[in-house]
């Protein structure tokens, strides 16, 4: 597979490493600091740039008719624009807040638990996410995805960062520490007991492998997709 990497930070470098190990070809690397190769010769673009560059990079690749797999979070206010442009260009776009198989399984468990607990309004739900200090956006895109699935199946109207007083607001807490790749925990607390589900990532390798799996899957397809389509969840 011929790949363009959009964003050459830690995730971009990890994708390059795993892609080369799996005998894929890196055709182009596009970053604020440098641009190598011609994206037009790529079969798919994998985007892990900073949030402020996401929309520009996505449009750049789609404009060349190249399918985009995007793991950048913090830009979703413009998601509808990307959906429309993908249709106009008759190509493909796949977004996920997290490409790890384990996290996507965690998403599924979180959704099913939320459905089971829908009528048990005596429980207060909260989410906590912890990441490395270099992660810019708060809360993480993964935490937002977890919150959105809970809100659809609970007493909460919205989520709020570090909010604890509003009964209609699902509290999402963010913490930044050294050398933490990603921890997400969902808590259901009542005066009688506490129920928790938790996922911890130990390296970026699982994210990179998932992104490459998505890139292989999207080749030849048209439309807008998510990781649930790739994994058939």
Q: How far apart are CA 60 and CA 39, in angstroms?
A: 9
Which of the residue ranges 73-77, 139-143, 163-167 would you say has the lowest mean pLDDT?
A: 163-167
Mark whether 87 is an active-site residue: no
Give the confidence band of 17 by pLDDT, cuts at 50, 70, 90: very high
Q: How far apart are CA 67 and CA 92, in angstroms?
A: 5
Give the H/E segment covering residue 70.
Answer: strand 68-70
Q: Catalytic: which of 24, 128, 131, 181?
A: 131
Tell me the mean pLDDT in the region 99-110.
Answer: 96
Instruction: Check residue 133 and report its DSSP letter.
Output: T
Instruction: Check residue 41 and report its DSSP letter.
Output: G
Q: Position of tokens 């999402």?
A: 172
End-to-end CA gap in the chain:
25
Tell me the mean pLDDT in the region 73-79.
Answer: 92
Q: Which residues of 74-101 are buried (b: 16+ CB within 10 A; e: fewer)?
A: bbeeeeeebeebbeebebbbbbbbbbbb
Q: What are the structural domains of the chain?
A: 2-99+205-231 (3.40.50.720), 101-200 (3.30.360.10)
With vertex at residue 42, the alpha carbon angle to CA 38 and CA 46, rounded to the nearest 5 degrees, is: 105
More confident residue, 173 or 164: 173
Q: Catalytic: which of 128, 135, 184, 199?
A: 135
Mark whether 135 is an active-site residue: yes
Percent of the chain with pLDDT over 70: 98
Give the confidence band of 130 by pLDDT, cuts at 50, 70, 90: very high
pLDDT beyond 70 at 34: no
Q: Position of tokens 């363009």?
A: 4
Give the confidence band of 36 by pLDDT, cuts at 50, 70, 90: low
pLDDT beyond 80 at 32: no
**Cβ atoms 39, 28 nearer than 8 A:** yes
Q: How far apart are CA 39 and CA 70, in angstroms?
A: 16
Q: What is the pTM of this model?
A: 0.82
């Amino acid at each position: 597979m011929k790949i363009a990497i959009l964003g050459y930070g830690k995730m971009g470098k990890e994708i390059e490493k795993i892609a080369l190990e799996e005998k894929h070809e890196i055709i182009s690397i596009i970053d604020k600091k440098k641009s190598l190769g011609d994206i037009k010769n790529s079969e798919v673009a994998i985007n892990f740039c900073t949030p402020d560059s996401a929309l520009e990079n996505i449009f750049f690749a789609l404009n060349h008719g190249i399918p985009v797999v995007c793991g950048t979070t913090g830009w979703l206010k413009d998601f509808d624009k990307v959906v429309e442009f993908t249709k106009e260009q008759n190509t493909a776009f796949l977004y996920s807040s997290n490409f790890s198989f384990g996290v996507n399984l965690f998403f599924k468990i979180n959704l099913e638990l939320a459905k089971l607990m829908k009528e048990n309004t005596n429980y207060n739900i909260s989410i906590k996410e912890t990441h490395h200090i270099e992660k810019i956006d708060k809360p993480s895109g993964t935490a937002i995805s977890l919150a959105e699935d809970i809100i659809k199946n609970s007493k909460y109207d919205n989520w709020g960062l570090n909010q604890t007083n509003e009964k209609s607001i699902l509290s999402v807490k963010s913490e930044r520490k050294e050398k933490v790749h990603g921890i997400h925990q969902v808590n259901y607390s009542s005066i009688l007991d506490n129920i928790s589900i938790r996922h911890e990532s130990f390296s970026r390798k699982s994210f990179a492998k998932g992104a490459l799996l998505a890139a292989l899957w999207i080749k030849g397809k048209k439309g807008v997709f998510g990781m649930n389509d790739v994994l058939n969840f």
